[in-house]
Structure 1
Amino acid sequence: MAEEFHGYAAFDKEGILKPYSYTPKPLGDEDIEVEISHCGICGSDLHTIRSGWFPTIYPAIVGHEIVGKVLKKGSKVTDFNIGDRVGIGCQVYSCGKCDECNVGYNQLCSKMVFTYNDVWKDAEGVPTQYQAHGGYADKIRAHSDSVFHIPKEISSAEACPLLCAGLTTFLPLKHHKVGPGNKVGIVGIGGLGHLAIQWAAKMGAEVTAISQSDKKRDEAIKLGATHFMNASDPNDVKKFTHSLDIILTTSGDSNTDWTKYMNLIKNRGTLVLIGLPDAPIPIPAFAFMRFIKVEGTLTGGSQDMKDMLEFAVKHNIRPLIQKVPMKDVNEGVKMVLNGKARYRIVLEN
């Protein structure tokens, strides 16, 4: 009789998650099977449930902020033991041998398998019959290189958002070697932004938190922001014009005034896109004329994940979370959709 894993899947764009069982890929020699205890709800999950960015392979179990214990392991797995507490982020496989993997960009591996809305491939990179399903479930399998030990100092629930939101906001700051003397802007004080503020502040940067109202001013300062800018106040916007070395945009609103944010950046500065709207981003050509760069970022590689977890422990950086039972997954998703999450929802089995 075939093995079955159980979870909550979206069956169409309506996004109502229902119980679903599937046959997982066979456990390979270098694979790990994890019994899931917690899984965060990420904005990417919502985009996927609704086929926002790309067409979704339905039924789809989403969730890529996964923490649990090692239940089984392949014969060649040496870095993990049964019972170890581990985490899995946005991918469950990379080849570890290609040019991208060799320079630490596992997330750009041509044979990479995303944690969900993807299909497992064979050794030659040919798609198999096994769909990749995520963490709104009881179990998951992943290649051991995509599995990470969770430091004892971090609780399982708090670890979940670090595995995507944490890594995604940490990586561009790491790559740009942000530190004392840098002026960093964080657009959006939510699930991503509240972590980005903490990273940048602990790296020693002068941090400006940017929001559409004054509601989160006090909280942003508590998180480590040096300054707060109300993007709806023209006088506030004028005060910060051409003042920031780098801006991380963490909100994915299709109605964003991108020219406004480009004008906040110093000559030769950088805008990093993290929160991605479903619609194309309109940025006027003249916004680039001050040698401003616009770049994207995609989670992080294996070493980036380890560096991020180590930094979180060293500087006591944690996400602000709300826990929801896994069986109430639709309520958790609704909280995120309605903007009621403060700031990440974590599902508990």
Structure 2
Amino acid sequence: MVEEFHGYAAFDKKSVLKYYSYTPKPLGDEDIEVEITHCGICGSDLHTMRSDWRPTLYPAILGHEIVGNVLEIGSKVVDFKIGNRVGIGCQVYSCGNCDECNSGYEQLCAKKVFTYNDMWKDAEGVPTEYQAQGGYADKIRAHSSFVFHIPTEISSAEACPLLCAGLSTFAPLKRHNVGPKSKVGIAGIGGLGHLAIQWAAKMKAEVTAISHSSQKRDEAIKLGATHFLDILDPNDVEKFTHSQDIILSTSCSSNTDWSKYMNFIKNHGTLILIGLPEAPLQIPVFAFMRFVKVEGSLTGGRQDIKDMLTFAAKHNVRPWIQIVPMKDVNEGIKSVLNGEARYRVVLEN
């Protein structure tokens, strides 16, 4: 009898998601099958749905902020038991042996498999016939290395956004050793930014929330920001010139004035790109002459996820969420597309 998993898939760039059945990869000796209870809607899902970044492998079940219960385990799995509450993020496999894996950057492994819009690979890294499908579904399979225990302090719905938005913002702050002497700017107060502000604040940094509108000032302060910078206010622009050690940009806008952001950074400081604009960045070359660096940051590695979940549980970092039934996934997506979500939508089976 052919196994079938079920979910809501994108079939092209423009249509709504539709109910879909597919055959999952066979359960390997080191794999775990998870019955999904919750899955967050991430901006990456929407970009993938529309083939914004690269051609999508349709039909595609999206979702890489997944929480559920262990339903089945492979014969060599030792750290999980049936019924454990677990999470799966942006990745379901890496080789575990290459330089990137050994240095904690499993997301850069040449044999990696992302949670969706990817193909499972064999031991040599050659794509198989099995497409990786995501969490807008009833079940999912992943290598046990990329399945994580969820701390008891964190609810299943709140854990979902931590597995992508939380990880993507926590990992670069951890990597740059952000602490009490750090001045950190968070550009964009949305699904990513509202978590980034909390991380930096709980790391005891001096946090400046950066926005194109003062409408989110009160929310930013509530989240832990020390200062608020309205990028359209000339007084704020002057006040915060050369003031930040790091600016973490969560913006996906192709209209961003990057020269302004560079001007807010101190000499020897760093602009870290988390959001992925579709258009190439336009940065004047003289912006780099103060030894200012620009770097990108792609999600995080396995240890980053474990550290992030531990930190969130200990310091009470939580996303602001709205819960939508899984069957109403298209309504949830519409809410995100229209900018109505404050700040993350989580689907519930």
- TM-score, length-normalised on structure 2? 0.99
Amino acid at match of 1:256: T
Q: Aligned to 1:263, what secondary structure does the other structure show? A: helix
Structure 2: tracts of 5 or more residues without a match? none
Q: Distance in 1 between matches of 2:137 and 2:74?
A: 21
Q: Aligned to 1:216, what secondary structure does the other structure show? A: helix
Query: What residue number does 2:4 align with?
Result: 4
Query: What residue number does 2:64 align with?
Result: 64
Structure 2 matches for 1:8-27, cutoff 5 A? Answer: 8-27=8-27
Query: What residue number does 2:342 align with?
Result: 342
Structure 2 matches for 1:195-344, cutoff 5 A? Answer: 195-344=195-344
Q: Distance in 1 between matches of 2:210 and 2:335?
A: 23
Does the 8 A contact of 1:64 with 1:115 survive in 2?
A: yes
| Residues 209-258 of structure 1: per-residue CA shift (max 9 Å, x gap) | 01111111011001100000111112111110000000000120111111
Q: Distance in 2 between matches of 1:287 and 1:251?
A: 19
Runs of 4+ in 1 over 2 A off after TM superposition: none
Of 149-158 and 95-104, more deviation after overlay is shown by 95-104
Q: Distance in 1 between matches of 2:15 and 2:303?
A: 34
Query: What residue number does 2:32 align with?
Result: 32
Q: Aligned to 2:67, what secondary structure does the other structure show? A: strand
| Residues 57-104 of structure 1: per-residue CA shift (max 9 Å, x gap) | 000001000000000010000000000000000000011111111111
Q: Distance in 2 between matches of 1:71 and 1:197?
A: 36
Does the 8 A contact of 1:40 with 1:63 survive in 2?
A: yes
Structure 1: tracts of 5 or more residues without a match? none
What's the CA shift for 1:280?
1.4
Query: What residue number does 1:78 align with?
Result: 78
| Residues 95-149 of structure 1: per-residue CA shift (max 9 Å, x gap) | 1111111111111111000000000000111100000000000000000000000
Does the 8 A contact of 1:94 with 1:101 survive in 2?
A: yes
Q: Distance in 2 between matches of 1:232 and 1:36?
A: 43
Q: Aligned to 1:172, what secondary structure does the other structure show? A: helix
Does the 8 A contact of 1:209 with 1:225 survive in 2?
A: yes
Query: What residue number does 1:142 align with?
Result: 142
Q: Distance in 2 between matches of 1:286 and 1:212?
A: 24
Does the 8 A contact of 1:15 with 1:49 survive in 2?
A: no
Does the 8 A contact of 1:206 with 1:225 survive in 2?
A: yes
- TM-score, length-normalised on structure 1? 0.99
Query: What residue number does 2:160 align with?
Result: 160
| Residues 276-305 of structure 1: per-residue CA shift (max 9 Å, x gap) | 111211112111111110000011111100
Q: Distance in 1 between matches of 2:280 and 2:6?
A: 36
What's the CA shift for 1:168?
0.4
What's the CA shift for 1:181?
1.1
Q: Aligned to 2:214, what secondary structure does the other structure show? A: coil
Q: Distance in 2 between matches of 1:76 and 1:91?
A: 20
| Residues 298-322 of structure 1: per-residue CA shift (max 9 Å, x gap) | 1111110000000001101100000
Amino acid at match of 2:65: E
Q: Distance in 2 between matches of 1:326 and 1:311?
A: 29
Indicate the percent of aligned positions where both proteins have the same amino acid. 80
Amino acid at match of 2:232: S
Q: Distance in 1 between matches of 2:194 and 2:60?
A: 29
Q: Aligned to 1:215, what secondary structure does the other structure show? A: helix
Q: Aligned to 1:300, what secondary structure does the other structure show? A: coil
Structure 2 matches for 1:118-197, cutoff 5 A? Answer: 118-197=118-197
Q: Distance in 1 between matches of 2:275 and 2:104?
A: 23
Structure 2 matches for 1:81-120, cutoff 5 A? Answer: 81-120=81-120
Q: Aligned to 1:279, what secondary structure does the other structure show? A: coil
Q: Aligned to 1:78, what secondary structure does the other structure show? A: coil
Does the 8 A contact of 1:31 with 1:142 survive in 2?
A: yes
What's the CA shift for 1:15?
4.3
Q: Matched residue pairs, number?
A: 349
